[in-house]
Amino acid sequence: MPATDPPVIEIRDLHKAYGPLEVLKGVSIAARRGQVVSLIGSSGSGKSTLLRCANLLEDSQQGEVLFEGEAVRWRGSGAGRHPGDKAQTIRIRTNLSMVFQQFNLWSHMTILENIMEAPVTVQGRDRAEVETAARGYLAKVGIADKADAWPAQLSGGQQQRAAIARALCMEPKALLFDEPTSALDPELEQEVVKVIKALADEGRTMLLVTHDMRLAADVSDHVVFLHLGRIEEEGPPDQVFGAPKTDRLRQFLSATAPA
């Protein structure tokens, strides 16, 4: 990708508060095409909030959100600020597919129907074409045989892999992962880690919020350590994990190291 191309997703000086509680205090990040950026930090550091602001699921009070160089058009200011162009918001959200900690599959739909729903109803794509793509993505994440199963019939790891297939079927420009393995036990977690690593190897653009330091070290091009709503330290994984510069990051890595 030419260096002059704008990042797929860029955040500039973002501020987000819930009433008097300031969660993000001027955060700036960017993910270029094919780049994996991981966000790490303690609970309450602002990681998941930042991801939700990037996807316009949360409104921020100050700062800019840009998708492929195009700035979100806001209406209002401060606590009353919100995206002002509905069509733009939908377009950005459909190009930034999000995979949540909880799988958020519709219990009354089969796995195949879950994956097909948004491409058909939101994007207006041909149903037959979407079904072919959906089955292909189920095969990619290793659960092709579960297309006609109900979510309740799948393990947690299988449900999360179905959620990843659902995100991929939107054919997004980037994938946003919000703690995708934290609700899983260690054995099922590795099923999902394997899929995420394979997607990184394909060169997909990803923003990854994770508690799994090994995963972040393995797949990331850039790692951002958030502390109390600010970027405390960032850099390539070798630097962040191998030669941390700040006491806070050293303490965090020490606390999260495997026993």
- Using CA atoms, how far residue 110 sits from 23, 150, 168, 184, 252, in Å, is 37, 5, 17, 21, 41
Residue 184, pLDDT score: 87
Residue 187, pLDDT score: 84
Residue 190: phi, psi to the nearest 5?
-65, -30
247-252: Cβ within 8 A, 24+ apart: 249/225, 252/40, 252/41, 252/42, 252/225, 252/227
pTM (2 d.p.): 0.93
Below-50 pLDDT ranges, the chain: 1
Residue 186, pLDDT score: 85
Q: Out of 3.40.50.300, 3.30.360.10, 3.10.620.30, 3.90.600.10, select the CATH number for domain 9-105+175-256.
A: 3.40.50.300
Residue 58, pLDDT score: 95
Residue 188, pLDDT score: 87
Position of tokens 């850039």?
Answer: 222
Percentage with pLDDT > 70 across the chain? 98
